[in-house]
Amino acid sequence: MKQNQGSRRTNEQAREKLASILLYEVSDPALDNVTLTGVEVSVDKSVLRAYVSCEPERYDEVLAALARAKGRIRSFLGHALGWRVTPELIFQIDTTADEAERIARALQNRPETMAQEKDENGYPVPPEEQE
């Protein structure tokens, strides 16, 4: 979605209010250790897409808990934002942190051939030619 100063401000305002609601108003133990990583609000403010992060094994549990609390969260959010329209909430799992961790682990387990000197075509240079 194209961002301008107004939409960034709207997204930031919605993120702050939603984070506060998830932290202080919703008391579902399934939502412990869940992080709100981002919020995108549509131009007409009718849809709010919230990205949350948690442990990979808890994805289904967290989405189910958010679905159960969606009506209550939306009610609190409507009062907190004071917009003309209370946006419809869509929760999605943000897997970017999990992907970054997977890539970091893959880079730590690189094969020894990666450290060998290579010629201009990418083939390893035999040890006798390196001198």
In this prediction, residue 80 carries a pLDDT of 92
In this prediction, residue 116 carries a pLDDT of 77
pLDDT in tens, 66-117: 999 999 999 999 999 888 989 999 999 988 888 888 888 887 877 776 777 8
Helices (H), 1-131: 5-24, 59-81, 96-108, 127-130
DSSP 60: H
CATH T-level topology, domain 5-109: GMP Synthetase; Chain A, domain 3 (3.30.300)
Q: Where are the domains of the chain?
A: 5-109
In this prediction, residue 105 carries a pLDDT of 84
pTM, to two decimals: 0.74
Give the residue among 54, 23, 51 at the shortest CA–CA distance from 39: 51
Q: Which residue has the higher pLDDT, 96 or 127?
A: 96
SS3 label, residue 45? coil
pLDDT in tens, 10-50: 899 999 999 999 889 888 888 888 889 999 999 888 999 99
Strand partners, 91: 50
